Amino acid sequence: MFKYSDSNKRYYTLDYFYKHKFNSKVCKISLDGGFSCPNKDGTVGTGGCIYCSKSGSAEYAGNKRKPLLEQFNDIKKIMINKWPNAKYIGYFQANTNTYAPVSILKEKYEPILKLDNVVGLSIGTRCDAISKECLEYLSDLNTRTFLTIELGLQTIHDSTSKLINRCHTLKCFEDMVKELRKRNINVVVHIINGLPYETKEMMIDTVKYLSNLDIQGIKIHALSILKGTELEKLYNKTHFKILSREEYIDIVCDQLEYLREDIVVHRLTGDPMISELVEPSWLIKKTTILNDIDKEMNRRDSYQGIKYNKKSA
């Protein structure tokens, strides 16, 4: 059995991490704080990343037309029916959730922390949208609650990063990870498998790179081509290769083998809205994909980190 597992999982799941840290089921409540993005308003770029939906990846977040506390309670009512004794983490998911003056951040974050059974905050953002003042505030927050900063990276490869319009460098990302870790703030990194023209080796190299950084978690997404995005336009024009379901499972299992064993796996596939999805259609069967990843790891008799080697990564 994998050392960070009490089930059939051969990788370090978020559920296992939360249960052992908080001695309880923990539910993340996805919120839309009404933030913008420096890659949309012209600060570093316009149009956003080519895969980004109009909602800024907030398909399952709260209704941004409602106050944050109302959003939280709406989702909590759903969660509490399934897990009546759960604790909660407020997840600021949509767009770039540190892209505002600290005074505004406090207005958004602090009321959530005061709610019953809220044990932490998870804040999705970009490496180029955390000011020095924000770092100071995050450092303070980290002394008062369980804080996680989720940084979008998607790929380490410069050619892909330019193609998808990320508008920040790998050095900027690495520097911000170091700044956050200086303050003992947990860092979770988002990556995407299946980005246009990337090879299997390129995707594995991204995980090898991250395994040698001081990060605490990872989210692996499958590329979703969504309606109305620049990515859909590119796909219709070039018909770049889309990973098959079998290819995706194979790549994820390889990545898990190269992933340092103490990095918590927060996600292993995407979760797009069916009504917005263009391709790949196999993404709508999330549970089946996760089950087949388990089956493949079992078939290989393999575990997270089994191929991790700091010298060669």
Domain that holds residue 270: 14-300
First to last CA, the chain: 25
Each residue of 126-162: pLDDT tens digit?
A: 999 999 999 999 999 999 999 999 999 999 999 999 9
| 307 belongs to a structural domain | no
- Mean predicted confidence (pLDDT) in 45-73: 80
* Lookup: tokens for 272: 């797009």
Each residue of 185-199: pLDDT tens digit?
A: 999 999 999 999 999
| 311 belongs to a structural domain | no
| 8 belongs to a structural domain | no
Q: What is the pLDDT of residue 313?
A: 52
d(CA 154, CA 201) in angstroms, rounded, equals 15
Q: What is the pLDDT of residue 59?
A: 58
Give the pTM: 0.95
| 7 belongs to a structural domain | no
| 185 belongs to a structural domain | yes
List the beta bridge partners of residue 186.
148
Distances in Å between the alpha carbon of 130 and those of 49, 96, 155, 167, 238? 18, 10, 20, 15, 35
| 313 belongs to a structural domain | no
Count the domains in the chain: 1
Four-residue CA torsion sign, 178, 258, 122, 248: positive
Lowest mean pLDDT among 60-64, 130-134, 155-159, 175-179: 60-64
Residue with tokens 């263009």: 278
CATH number at residue 182: 3.80.30.30
| 309 belongs to a structural domain | no
* pLDDT-based confidence at residue 63 (cuts at 50, 70, 90): confident
| 243 belongs to a structural domain | yes
d(CA 238, CA 120) in angstroms, rounded, equals 43
